[in-house]
Structure 1
Amino acid sequence: MFLVASLVMFAVFTANVALGAATGNTFLSDVGEMLVLFAASVLFVAAILKREAAQKDKAGG
């Protein structure tokens, strides 16, 4: 779930950057863009930590 949410956030960031490069118009401000990228990073880290914890539990410690 966290990985999918991270992918969605990164897709929004990428779409904003691509739209800005192509047309000069963006739907996010600089601060909004930073917050979306930060949220994508946090969600990605949460997904990785959750997967590592699941592997550790599966391995028995």
Structure 2
Amino acid sequence: MLLTIALLLFATFGANVVMGSMGLGGFLGDVSEMLTLFAATIFFVAVILQKEAAEKKSK
């Protein structure tokens, strides 16, 4: 679940960057783009920590 959210947020960020580089104008502003990437990073770190905890628990 968390990984899906992280991937969706990163895909949103990536789509905004691609649209901006093609000259179509991005749909996110500077601050919202930064917050989207930050949220994707937070969710990704949460997934990694969950996987590490599960691996540690199984040993």
**TM-score normalised by L of structure 2:** 0.95
- Please name the residue that 1:50 is paired with: 50
Q: Which amino acid aligns with 2:2?
A: F
Q: Distance in 1 between matches of 2:14 and 2:56?
A: 33
Unaligned regions of 5+ residues in structure 1, if any? none
The offset of 1:23, in angstroms, is: 2.0
Runs of 4+ aligned residues of structure 1 deviating over 2 Å after TM superposition are: none
1:36 aligns with 2:22: no
CA distance in 2, matches of 1:2, 1:51: 11
What's 2:21 paired with? 21
TM-score normalized by the length of structure 1: 0.92
**More deviation, 20-29/47-56:** 20-29
How many angstroms apart in 1 are the aligned matches of 2:38 and 2:11?
A: 13
Give me the CA root mean square deviation.
0.8
Larger of the two Rg values belongs to structure: 1
Question: Is there any run of 5+ residues in structure 2 with no aligned partner, and where?
Answer: none
